[in-house]
Structure 1
Amino acid sequence: MIDPSEWIGRQRTSDDVIDAWHVAAFNAALDRSPELPADGTPLPPCWQWLFFRPLYAASRSGPDGHERLGEFLPALPVQQRMWAGSRMTVHRPLQVGERVTRYSTVADVVPKQGRSGQLVFVTVAHDIEGERGGYIEEQQDIVYREHRPVGGAGEPARELPGPAWQALWRPDPVLLFRYSALTYNSHRIHYDRRYCVDEEGYPGLVVHGPLMATLMVDLAERHRDAPVRYFEYRSHAPVFDDMAFTAAGVPDGDGARLWVTRSDGVLALSGRAE
Structure 2
Amino acid sequence: MDQWIGRTQEAYDVVGLAPARHLAAMLDLPTASIAFGSEIPGFWYQILFSPFDLQSKLAADGHPTKGEFLPPIPWPRRLLAGRRVGFDSPIQIGAEVYRTSTIQSIVPKTGRSGSLCFVTVAHELKDSNNRRLVKEEQDIVYRQAVDTPSDSTTPSSSASHPERIESFPPPHFSDKYRPDATMLFRYSAITFNAHRIHYDLPFARDVEGYPELVVNGGLTTIKLWQMVAAHTNRPILASRSRNLQTLFANREATLCAAFTGTSQILAWALNDQGVPVMRMELELGELA
Per-residue deviation, 1:40: 3.6
The yes-or-no answer on 1:185 pairing with 2:193 is: yes
The whole-number CA distance in structure 2 between the counterparts of 1:29 and 1:17 is 21
Q: Which residue does the alignment assign to 1:57?
A: 54
* Aligned 8 A contact 1:94 1:134 in 2: no
Per-residue deviation, 1:263: 1.2
The whole-number CA distance in structure 2 between the counterparts of 1:28 and 1:72 is 32
Provide the secondary structure at the position in 2 that maps to 1:175.
Answer: helix
Provide the secondary structure at the position in 2 that maps to 1:205.
Answer: coil
The whole-number CA distance in structure 2 between the counterparts of 1:91 and 1:34 is 24
- Specify the code of the residue in structure 2 equivalent to 1:140: Q
* Aligned 8 A contact 2:267 2:279 in 1: yes
Q: Which residue does the alignment assign to 1:262?
A: 271
The whole-number CA distance in structure 2 between the counterparts of 1:96 and 1:134 is 16
Provide the secondary structure at the position in 1 that maps to 2:222.
Answer: helix
* Aligned 8 A contact 1:14 1:52 in 2: yes
Q: Which residue does the alignment assign to 2:135?
A: 137
What runs of 5+ residues in structure 1 fail to find an aligned partner? none
Per-residue deviation, 1:153: 4.0
The whole-number CA distance in structure 2 between the counterparts of 1:82 and 1:182 is 18
2:18 to 21, 26, 48: 21
Q: Which residue does the alignment assign to 1:210?
A: 218
The whole-number CA distance in structure 2 between the counterparts of 1:8 and 1:123 is 9
Per-residue deviation, 1:238: 1.2
* Aligned 8 A contact 2:87 2:133 in 1: yes
Per-residue deviation, 1:46: 3.0
Q: Which residue does the alignment assign to 1:152?
A: 153
What runs of 5+ residues in structure 2 fail to find an aligned partner? 156-161, 284-288
The whole-number CA distance in structure 2 between the counterparts of 1:43 and 1:174 is 24
The whole-number CA distance in structure 2 between the counterparts of 1:208 and 1:101 is 25
Change (3 A) 1:84 1:45: farther
The whole-number CA distance in structure 2 between the counterparts of 1:108 and 1:18 is 29
The whole-number CA distance in structure 2 between the counterparts of 1:171 and 1:78 is 28
* Aligned 8 A contact 1:98 1:130 in 2: yes
The whole-number CA distance in structure 2 between the counterparts of 1:230 and 1:272 is 8
Q: Which residue does the alignment assign to 1:30?
A: 27
The whole-number CA distance in structure 1 between the counterparts of 2:32 and 2:105 is 41
- Specify the code of the residue in structure 2 equivalent to 1:250: A
1:80 to 57, 68, 77: 77
The whole-number CA distance in structure 2 between the counterparts of 1:45 and 1:135 is 7
Provide the aligned length of Structure 1 versus Structure 2.
Answer: 271
* Aligned 8 A contact 2:181 2:250 in 1: no
Per-residue deviation, 1:25: 0.9
Q: Which residue does the alignment assign to 1:120?
A: 117
What do the CA deviations read for 1:122-174 (whole angstroms, capped 9, x no partner)? Answer: 00000100125352111011011111256524555332111111110111111
Q: Which residue does the alignment assign to 1:174?
A: 182
* Aligned 8 A contact 2:27 2:223 in 1: no
Provide the secondary structure at the position in 1 that maps to 2:39.
Answer: coil
* Aligned 8 A contact 1:24 1:36 in 2: no
* Aligned 8 A contact 1:20 1:36 in 2: no
Per-residue deviation, 1:48: 0.9
The whole-number CA distance in structure 2 between the counterparts of 1:112 and 1:209 is 21
Per-residue deviation, 1:68: 0.7
What value does the CA root-mean-square deviation take over the aligned residues? 1.6
The whole-number CA distance in structure 2 between the counterparts of 1:216 and 1:45 is 14
Per-residue deviation, 1:30: 2.3
* Aligned 8 A contact 2:42 2:134 in 1: no
- Specify the code of the residue in structure 1 equivalent to 2:137: Q
Percent identity between the two aligned chains: 36
What do the CA deviations read for 1:162-210 (whole angstroms, capped 9, x no partner)? Answer: 1111110111111110100000000000110000100011111111111
- Specify the code of the residue in structure 1 equivalent to 2:14: V
